[in-house]
Amino acid sequence: MSKFPKDFLWGGATAANQCEGAYNEDGKGLTGQDLTRKGWREAPTAEPTEDNLKLVGIDFYHRYKEDIRLFAEMGFKVFRLSIAWARIFPNGDDQEPNEAGLAFYDEVFDECLKYGIEPLVTLSHYEMPLHLTRTYDGWRSRKVIDFFERYVQTVFKRYKGKVKYWLTFNEINSISHVPFLSGGINTPKEQLTKQDIYQAIHHELVASARAVNACHTIDPEAKIGCMILGVPVYPLTPEPKDVLKSLATERENFFFSDVQVRGYYPSYSKRLFKENNIELDITKQDLADLKHTVDFISFSYYMSVCESADPTKKAGKGNIIGGIPNPYLKASDWGWQIDPEGLRYYLNCLYDRYQKPVFIVENGLGAVDELITLPDGTRTVNDDYRINYMNDHLVQVEEALEDGVEIMGYTSWGCIDLISFTTAEIKKRYGMIYVDRNQDGSGSLERYKKKSFHWYKEVIESNGASLVR
């Protein structure tokens, strides 16, 4: 018997820069994503290059009707997507929006609503107009707050009544790890001080709070949340120094949601700032703005990590946030440790900390899939490994519901194959829909239903009752 509430929002999640393509069509401006052909670790190129798979993505820009129809067939109640800021304001500091960009998302939202799918829209998902990056150094500049506010007010007014659920910044707590793509910061990471990073963080937090205020003012019926990279941090051993180290790392991540949910800087930040010689430029207006807090907390969940005070312990591969591998867990092909129980633990941590609804807006398994042809000519992928991964995590979501956690929904990451953020690969597939595109850019872009497509459809139809416990 299912423990999921009747109004649980089942669905899937994507990001504009990983699926849309059409990077230079209909007036869209460039973003940092158009220059990072190998993922977040590589320095950006000067101009877009043909080997950047994100320039075409999976061509969602031209194929969104087909894709949304497939999502509807799976039974989605919600579809998480992002608006490309540079489609609306190509340079970021433009006085007037680009109508072609606004019209595109009108059509996408209308297509979702046609099938009864609620759009869940991220305002900034790892991309900023490149002009703001190169001219203002992204979130290091206070001026960008005003540009962002103009952008969000524009879309809130345009899509009032169509979009009920909004998120401000995707994985906002990743900025110190990925300053170029997460913060639009042009200055190389190695040249940035903690003062630089935390001042940029402050500007972004103020911008997020202003977006919350604008949303509540323009469309009081809508709900707006924050979005963090969710990573439970376990001490590697019971050694008290390891426990304190894991607490410190955990706070580095919760710092962002603490401000966005509570409306002020946490007390532990005083010591952090003092010991790192950080003196933030904070105005009275900033403090007033921060009091506009989110309606819910959303997060991505892929893995947990361990921490140790022992400097000889090495961080694992693949993780954006680092961390030491847990000897009790297996890992994916990309070195991401698989920890379903960690999702239950993290859901409880968030709800205990904030007592606000939580929303799992990313979770999934990146893997190498093999497209096969069945005797009847159907092309598919037998991805039992993905089914097992999602099943085990969703069982833990159900456990968290039993624990008393108020959970709004679950959107599987990359519900349709897209270009990976971390490595900019297509071979790292998350979807329940296979897209015929290869690492060299070749392929028909045709869509094929994987085995997991039919499994997830049954999970949604049964409201979780079909899960194997």
Write out the catalytic residue numbers: 362
Q: Which two tokens stand for residue 366?
A: 């990146």
Q: 137-175 burial by CB neighbour count: b if 16+ within 10 A, else e?
A: bbbbbbebbebbbbbbbbbbebbeebbbbbbbbbbbbbb
Give CA–CA dist 126/16, Å, rounded: 9
Radius of gyration over every alpha carbon of the chain, rounded to an integer in angstroms: 21
Give the amino acid at 20.
E
DSSP-derived secondary structure for 264-304: S--TTHHHHHHHTT------HHHHHHHT---SEEEEEES--
Give CA–CA dist 165/88, Å, rounded: 19
Give CA–CA dist 83/105, Å, rounded: 8
Instruction: Indicate the length of the chain as a whole number.
Output: 469
Q: Which two tokens stand for residue 45?
A: 């190129």
Cβ pair 256, 201 in contact under 8 A: yes
Give CA–CA dist 386/235, Å, rounded: 28
